Amino acid sequence: MNPTGLGIVHISLLPGFVCRIDQRVTDLSDIQQRLVAALVLGDRPLRRGELAARLWPDAPPDRAGARLRQTLWRLNQATDGGLLRVSHTTVALADHVEVDYRAAARLIAAETGAVGAATAPAMAGEDRLPQAWSVLRHPLLNDWDDDWLVPFQEKWKVQRVQTLERLAERFLQRRQHAAVLELADAATQADPLREAPRRIAVQSCLFVGEVADAHRRYRGYQELLSAELGVAPSGAIPQLLRQDRERQLALAAEF
């Protein structure tokens, strides 16, 4: 609950920055948005000097500190003091602020069995697919290219692709073809050169008899790797296609 009485404060970083107070979008300047994003991704109170250096890396420390003080004041004015927790030495998000990126991190922790995930909802069940999909399909602050942000974007990309693959594998075991393709295709969109989600999608197509689609997907991946890297895929997908062909021939021979 928000002790300021303003209602629910929600920050979205997936795929872009949005600040909502009581479901209404609050307009923040670019530097105010970046300050909030830095606090979210830092996941801890940041020292004022560290935060100022991150946001104004080319400014002298005293100038950066002055700009930080001005930005904090304006941000508090824009959000009626309901967003930050500020001391003389550190700045943090207020405890009541909801953040989609942090909720996504808890979902990933639950799926991977990370330490501390016991309180996070498991998302392997079919009822959790919409929740998982709603957060995992988006990149992190997709339109920003700040140098300090790149490591966070790359880490998020790896985490979400791996989690999408795990979920796709789980639904593959249940023969839930539509869910498999949705998850595997999302992983492929995030990392087009990665083979694992392509293999999962092909295997699911073969399970449901969509042989033509399986071959189409493999040919598209084969052409992409050749054009981008000048290499061929591993033998994993051709082996799946070959084994399916052998099964079909064996079944045909029985009649």
* Gyration radius (Cα) of the chain, Å: 23
pLDDT tens across 63-88, in order?
Answer: 999 999 999 999 999 999 989 999 99
How far from 219 is each of 17, 148, 198, 223, 232, CA to CA, in Å?
Answer: 37, 38, 11, 6, 11
**Band of pLDDT at residue 18, cut at 50, 70 and 90:** very high
Burial of 218 (0-12, 13-18, 19+ CB in 10 A): buried
b/e for 32-57, b at 16 or more Cβ within 10 A? bbbbbbbbbbbeebbebeebbbbbbe
Looking at residue 132, its pLDDT comes to: 65
Q: Give yes or no for residue 210 having a pLDDT over 90.
A: yes
Alpha carbons 144 and 209: distance in angstroms, whole number: 42
- What is the number of helices (H) and of strands (E) in the chain? 10, 7
CB contact at 8 A, 108 and 156: no
% of the chain beyond a pLDDT of 70:
89
How far from 217 is each of 11, 102, 188, 209, 241, CA to CA, in Å?
Answer: 37, 34, 11, 14, 11
Domains defined for the chain, CATH in brackets: 9-96 (1.10.10.10)
Query: Average pLDDT of 34-41?
Result: 96
Confidence (pTM): 0.83
- Residue 150: both structure tokens together: 């790149």
Closest Cα partner for 11 from 51, 39, 30?
39
Alpha carbons 104 and 106: distance in angstroms, whole number: 5
